[in-house]
Amino acid sequence: MEAFASDNLLALIDLAGLKDRLFARRGGRMGSIGEKRVREDEGGVGSEKEKRSVTETACSDLTDSVGDGAGVVMKALSRAERERRITDAIQTVLECLEEDPSREGLRKTPSRYAKALMDFTDGYRTNLREVVGDAEFEESHSEIVFLSNVEVHSLCEHHMVPFHGKCHIAYIPNGKVIGLSKLARITELFSRRLQIQERLTREIAEAVQEAIDPLGVAVFMEASHMCMVMRGVKKTSAKTVTMSMIGCFKNEDHRRSEFMNLVKGASK
């Protein structure tokens, strides 16, 4: 199984078109790895220890290069090709779990999961400008705008299991308002990525600020994390609360109090 995994990972690196980039990035050091791989293919490097060494070093260099290597390559791939690669990877996962991917109940699971995962992470493939569009309007309204109980579903980046809950979003216009549905779509944009709740809360607030430059933005989020419910401490009733305040909500006590009172009312 270890030899199978090693060969598969090296093949995946080759398929991703990263091998040459990684060799160049390491200024020749990776060249020795490539030579070892050739010798292995020719029968010159046969031990499992050497195969693991090749794989581990390649993994390390691949991790180091994600910012300017893997991401660039993946963006160039079609959705169908990405789904195919995820499907192959999930087939391997099932095998590592000592399951039989060919049995009836699992036969289509890898492809189903691939499609679902691409949907869960669709936020990587769109941006704020596309989401907001032309839904910005000149308006003299100067009091709080508050949208409550916006559902949130995301994947924790630490375990890739869901967390879900609700958030409340408020802003004070500065001569411009945004379509209410766009606040929900902004939440969706950032929640459909691998996330932690703290960052997700901040990104929603910063996106509203960027979109219409209001006098202030406040976001309150409460969520339940499956990584705490299904595994680890297994605390089924635990909830995590995060907040992000910008502008007048951060600097003016009465605005913060106004927002929190609205949150309390919406949470009853």
pLDDT values of the chain reduced to their tens digit, one per residue, 268 residues: 445 444 554 444 454 444 444 444 444 444 433 444 444 444 444 555 554 444 444 444 444 444 456 667 777 899 999 999 999 999 999 999 999 999 999 999 999 999 999 999 999 999 999 999 999 999 999 999 999 999 999 999 999 999 999 999 999 999 999 999 999 999 999 999 999 999 999 999 999 999 999 999 999 999 999 999 999 989 899 999 999 999 999 999 999 999 999 999 998 7
User: Of these residues, 2, 35, 130, 157, which one is catalytic?
Assistant: 157
User: Of these residues, 83, 197, 203, 248, which one is catalytic?
Assistant: 197
Q: What is the pLDDT of residue 47?
A: 52
First to last CA, the chain: 54
Q: What is the pLDDT of residue 70?
A: 66
User: Of these residues, 83, 167, 168, 225, which one is catalytic?
Assistant: 225
User: Of these residues, 95, 99, 227, 252, which one is catalytic?
Assistant: 227
User: Of these residues, 40, 156, 167, 248, which one is catalytic?
Assistant: 156
159 among known catalytic residues: yes
Tokens of 5: 């995994």
User: Of these residues, 56, 130, 158, 198, which one is catalytic?
Assistant: 158
CA angle 153, 157, 160 (to 5 degrees): 70
CA angle 65, 69, 71 (to 5 degrees): 110
User: Of these residues, 95, 159, 209, 252, which one is catalytic?
Assistant: 159
139 among known catalytic residues: no
167 among known catalytic residues: no
96 among known catalytic residues: no
Question: How many residues belong to the chain?
Answer: 268
227 among known catalytic residues: yes
Burial of 36 (0-12, 13-18, 19+ CB in 10 A): middle
Q: What is the pLDDT of residue 69?
A: 60
